[in-house]
Structure 1
Amino acid sequence: MGKLLYQGHGSYRIVTDNGIVIYVDPFAGEGYDLPADLVLVSHEHPDHNKLSLLNQKKGCTILRPETILIGGVYGSRKIDDISIQAVPAYNAKHDKNHCVGYLIELDGIKIYASGDTSFTDYMSDVLSKEKIAYALLPIDGIFNMNPEEASKCAEVIGAIHTIPIHMKPGALFDRQIAQSFVSKGRLILAPKEEIIL
């Protein structure tokens, strides 16, 4: 079975059942010891793209908006047995043309890595039909939606589990803010906590 390690803020690491190592928005916390096969950068703010933390395997693929959002078209990639689909991510602080989320399919499950965003029509039009196992949503209420809006997004998306992330600027984690996010299947992870997918 694959694993997901929450590193803090908006950063997490996924390791697939066959050992493919994926980092999403590297910046915070610990757990960068495994060399990367795939790195997903949702946008180029400095708290989401600290590639210097990583050792990259030969042939490591790095996806970022400039490589997967071309001319307004959200691209997709197949890497080994992993399918990646870029999806809309935006709000007043994040330009639609320079930010993406990712729908990741691996080991027979789907993970929605939202990036920095608020509600998007794509959540209701597409993601709600995708049978997502895990959705990771920002809840800081400053640069993204607040816990109340994120709770509504979680209800729309309908993932089996929703993990609140990106809670408080300058902090890896804030349990009180995390607990104010309400969702069926809510899963609160503190930094360094790892789950079996």
Structure 2
Amino acid sequence: MAEFYFQGHGSFRLTTDKGTVIYVDPYAGGGYNLAADIILVTHEHGDHNRIELAAKKEECTIITDQEALEGGIYHKFTIKDVEIESVPAYNRNHSRSECVGYILRFDSISFYASGDTSVTDFMADKIPAYQLDYAVLPIDGIYNMNPEEATKCAEIIGAKHVIPIHMKPGQLFDRLCAEQFKAANRLIVEAGTGIILMK
């Protein structure tokens, strides 16, 4: 079955039912021992782009904001059993032209890796139509949304389950901050643990 493993801060690993391994924003925690098929980087800040941490298969595909936003266009990719669509991500600390989020589809699951962002027009206008099963949202309130804004964001995007990440600078996980995120569909996953993803 497909799995989500939260490494900490903004870093996590996805594994599809067919065994395709995807790292998103590698930087923090452990769990980089599974060889990557895909590495996704939402932007080039130093706490999101340490691709050297992850073991890699020979045919590993690395997609950063540069490939995802080449020519100023949000691109789509199909790699093995995974469909990837880049989407807008930005706020006062993250330029629209240098940051992306990703919507991934695998095993009939739709998963939104928002990247570092605040609420965007795209979220309100487009995201609900994706009928997301899972989403991860930053909630630190310093570089991104705070828990209150992230709670409103969760309502806007309408995912079945929303996992708070990127909680406190310098920390893999902060329980107090996570619990301030009040979305009805909240799913708290501690750093160093994982969950099975289900439709």
TM-score category, normalised to shorter length: over 0.9
| Residue 65 of structure 2 corresponds to residue 62 of structure 1 | no
Give the aligned partner of residue 153 of structure 1: 153
Give the aligned partner of residue 30 of structure 1: 30
Contact 2:138 2:145 in 1 (8 A): yes
Q: What do the CA deviations read for 1:75-121 (whole angstroms, capped 9, x no partner)?
A: 00001121000000000000000000000001101000000000001
Give the aligned partner of residue 190 of structure 1: 190
Give the aligned partner of residue 173 of structure 1: 173
Contact 2:154 2:183 in 1 (8 A): yes
| Residue 104 of structure 2 corresponds to residue 71 of structure 1 | no
Q: Which amino acid in 2 is paired with 1:148?
A: E
Q: Which amino acid in 2 is paired with 1:152?
A: K
The 10-residue stretch of structure 1 (70-79 or 5-14) with the greater mean CA deviation from structure 2:
70-79
Give the aligned partner of residue 41 of structure 1: 41
Q: Secondary structure at the match of 1:184?
A: coil
Where in structure 1 are there 5+ consecutive unaligned residues? none
Alignment of 1:95-174 (within 5 A): 95-174=95-174
Provide the rounded CA distance (Å) in 2 between the counterparts of 1:169 and 1:105.
30
The 10-residue stretch of structure 1 (96-105 or 49-58) with the greater mean CA deviation from structure 2:
49-58
Contact 2:20 2:81 in 1 (8 A): no
Provide the rounded CA distance (Å) in 2 between the counterparts of 1:189 and 1:81.
25
Q: Secondary structure at the match of 2:179?
A: helix
Q: Secondary structure at the match of 2:28?
A: coil
Q: Which amino acid in 2 is paired with 1:45?
A: H
Provide the rounded CA distance (Å) in 1 between the counterparts of 2:190 and 2:106.
23
Provide the rounded CA distance (Å) in 2 between the counterparts of 1:160 and 1:119.
18
Give the aligned partner of residue 87 of structure 1: 87
Q: Which amino acid in 1 is paired with 2:142?
A: I
Provide the rounded CA distance (Å) in 1 between the counterparts of 2:74 and 2:181.
29
Report the aligned-residue RMSD: 0.6
State the TM-score, normalizing by the size of structure 2.
Answer: 0.98
Q: Which amino acid in 2 is paired with 1:54?
A: A
The number of aligned residues is: 197
Q: Secondary structure at the match of 1:87?
A: strand
Contact 2:89 2:115 in 1 (8 A): yes
Where in structure 2 are there 5+ consecutive unaligned residues? none
Q: Which amino acid in 2 is paired with 1:18?
A: K
Over 2 Å off, 4+ runs: none
Q: What do the CA deviations read for 1:45-68 (whole angstroms, capped 9, x no partner)?
A: 010011111111011000111111
Provide the rounded CA distance (Å) in 1 between the counterparts of 2:184 and 2:106.
23
Could you tell me how far 1:20 is from its partner in structure 2?
0.3
Could you tell me how far 1:71 is from its partner in structure 2?
2.5
Q: What do the CA deviations read for 1:126-146 (whole angstroms, capped 9, x no partner)?
A: 111111011000000000010
Give the aligned partner of residue 6 of structure 1: 6
Q: Which amino acid in 2 is paired with 1:145?
A: M
Q: Secondary structure at the match of 2:85?
A: strand
